A and B are shown apart, each in its own frame.
Chain A
Amino acid sequence: MSALATTAAVFGAFDPPYWLETTIKVLVVTLLVPTTALILGIVFLFKVMSWMQSRLGPQEAGPRGLLQLLADGVKFLQKEDLMPNGADKWVFRAAPVVVLVSTFLIYVAIPASPTLVVADLPTGIFFVLAVSSLSVIGILMAGWASANKYSLIGGLRAAGQLIAYELPMVLAVIGVVIQAGTLNLNGIVAAQSSGEIFGWSGLGYPFILTQFIGFAIFLLAVQAELTQAPFDMPVAESEIVSGYQVEYTGFRFLFFFLAEFATAFAFAAVASVLFLGGWAVPWLDESSDWYFVLGPAVLFAKIMLVSFLIFWFRFTYPRFREDQLQTFAWKFLIPLSLVNILATALFKVVM
């Protein structure tokens, strides 16, 4: 306990100058993004997917093949950096960076404990949703600049899909925001941990209980935002090879890969903050020193749970047709989320 107290004291008293603080924050985010992409890639893409297909996955690189993705990353770095003749050079080069930057920006607002957050924005969830939709621009840029018809079709499909599913995602979040009464992510966590279910506060009051429809819509929309099966029309390999990624090789492709998995992790984090109670442990006082250790651990466990759901859907379902995809978003998910908002608002006023 004393060790914990000293650690907490050190952390609590740590008040660096602005430049040092910014440097640390930038370093943390830049290290976090590839790490999370690695974790999700190895655990889910390699291992869980293999198990679901009755195989073992990579076995040779490292213990039980756990370093396979690192080896693949090194392989990507060795590849020749190709660019098509007719490509729009600047846009082509900038596109993966834009996609990755949008991923970096999501991580800025996600809290891992009361103090472990890069920027505790008063409009945190708004910021997250805003920057996450930046990636559409990057994807459109990639599709357009590649001078390839498959890329262009993929880019356009991606644009149509991401815009269509941005809406239900935002609308699903509004229900939570109405219930919590705040846009701040830490505030939303606090609202869940301080609440109680019929006078019993053992679990806090995770919003998944009342906002289950919101949670389901959010997960579906995340699936579509990540262009993962069953919403992987933009990168359908049997139709348009790999969509907007066709012409990208080496580390530029690696950027897209990192962005996809790091965004999956970030969205899983947002989902667990919004619906599952985030870093909070309900029977622990909110200013407890334990949160320096427990907060990230609890959040990580919840993220892995949500990621498992996301990737489970990905490994189970076949691909939608383009018109089914649009119909599903505009005629089913959006009306449903509007009804959800209406019901939540009514309850909020009545209760």
Chain B
Amino acid sequence: MPKVPGLIKGLGVTFGEMVKTLKDGPVTVQYPHEKEEPTPRARGVIALHEENCTACMLCSRECPDWCIYIEAHKYLAPPRREGGKPRQKNALDRFDIDFSLCMFCGICVEVCPFEALFWSPEYEFSELKIADLLHDKDRLGQWMQTVPDFEPYEGGSEQKVKKVPR
């Protein structure tokens, strides 16, 4: 077969693409009318499981944008055994993530040693005012309902599949 000049081949590519679009539809999704289904591991928004948080501040310190604000106070919990010492615990007063600063790197989710932060694939949380993008711990807690279960690893993997606390 003789070599087709690149110029003509290029014309063929665009024409073929046009025919394909008219026949099978475009690759784009008409967003407000139809929604794209994100993959289960998509990084949409960060959810907080408040009971697991010990206010250790690791996420806040590792955050490259410093967009996590944590405030906590200490309190004495009753001792576990009779005659024991009362235990010192941290109570979470404030846990805010400013999604106007967040760059969705996921380092906070990675570093959390107590499995308190999770990725949720939800992506529709735009706001009219930029200040409303500051999600407090109640809002972050609500996102927990949208966190999907972890998918099992590939066959033969030694890794244990983590459970999402519900």
A305 within 8 Å of B (CB atoms): no
Query: Given A54-B21, A55-B21, A317-B7, A312 and B15 touching (CB < 8 A)?
Result: yes
Return A140 CB to nearest CB of chain B, in Å: 31
The smallest beta-carbon distance between A4 and chain B, in angstroms, is: 36
A52 near B30 with CB under 8 A, answer no
B13 contacts partner chain A, Cβ-Cβ < 8 Å? yes
Q: B22 contacts which of A51, A59, A317 (Cβ < 8 Å)?
A: A51
Query: In A99-124, which residues have CB < 8 Å from any B CB?
Result: none
Partner of A51, one of B7, B10, B17: B17
Summarize A's interface: helix, strand, loop or mixed: helix
The reply to whether B30 and A54 form a contact with Cβ atoms under 8 Å apart is no
The answer for the CA separation of A312 and B21 in the assembled complex, in Å, is 15
Q: Name the B residues within 8 Å of A316 (CB-CB).
A: 10-11, 13-14
- B26 part of interface (Cβ distance < 8 Å): yes
Tell me whether B15 and A59 are in contact (CB under 8 A): no
A59 touches B10 (CB 8 A): no
The yes or no answer to A315 lying at the interface (CB within 8 A) is yes
Count, chain B residues at interface, CB 8 A: 15
A53 cross-chain contacts in B, Cβ below 8 A: 17
CA distance A55 to B30 in the complex (A): 9
Question: Once the chains are docked, how many angstroms separate the CA of A55 from the CA of B18?
Answer: 9
| Contact among B11, B13, B20, B26 for A56, CB-based, below 8 A | B26
A-B contact count (CB 8 A): 40
How distant is A128 from chain B, measured CB to nearest CB, in Å?
A: 28
Choose among B7, B10, B15, B28 the residue that contacts A54 (Cβ–Cβ < 8 A).
Answer: B28
Instruction: Tell me whether A48 is interfacial, beta carbon within 8 Å.
Output: yes
Q: Which residues of A contact B11 (CB under 8 A)?
A: 312-313, 316
Partner of A48 from B18, B20, B26 at Cβ < 8 Å: B18
**Contact (A56, B28) CB under 8 Å given A51-B22, A317-B7:** yes
Query: What 0/1 pattern do residues 307 to 320 of A give for CB contact below 8 A with B?
Result: 00000110111000
Give B1-25 as 1s and 0s: 1 = Cβ < 8 Å from A's Cβ atoms. 0000001001101110110111000
Check if A312 sits within 8 Å of B17, measured CB to CB. Answer: no
Q: Tell me the bound Cα distance from A315 to B7 in angstroms.
A: 12
Q: Apart from A56-B21, A312-B14, what are 7 other A-B pairs with CB-CB below 8 Å?
A: A52-B14, A52-B21, A54-B20, A54-B21, A55-B28, A316-B10, A317-B7
For this complex, 25 residue pairs linking A to B, each with C-beta atoms less than 8 Å apart, are A50-B26, A51-B17, A51-B18, A51-B22, A52-B15, A52-B18, A53-B17, A54-B17, A54-B26, A54-B27, A55-B21, A55-B26, A55-B27, A55-B28, A56-B21, A56-B26, A56-B28, A56-B30, A59-B30, A313-B11, A315-B14, A316-B11, A316-B13, A316-B14, A317-B10
User: Top 8 closest A-B pairs, CB basis?
Assistant: A51-B18, A51-B21, A52-B14, A55-B28, A316-B14, A55-B26, A52-B18, A54-B27
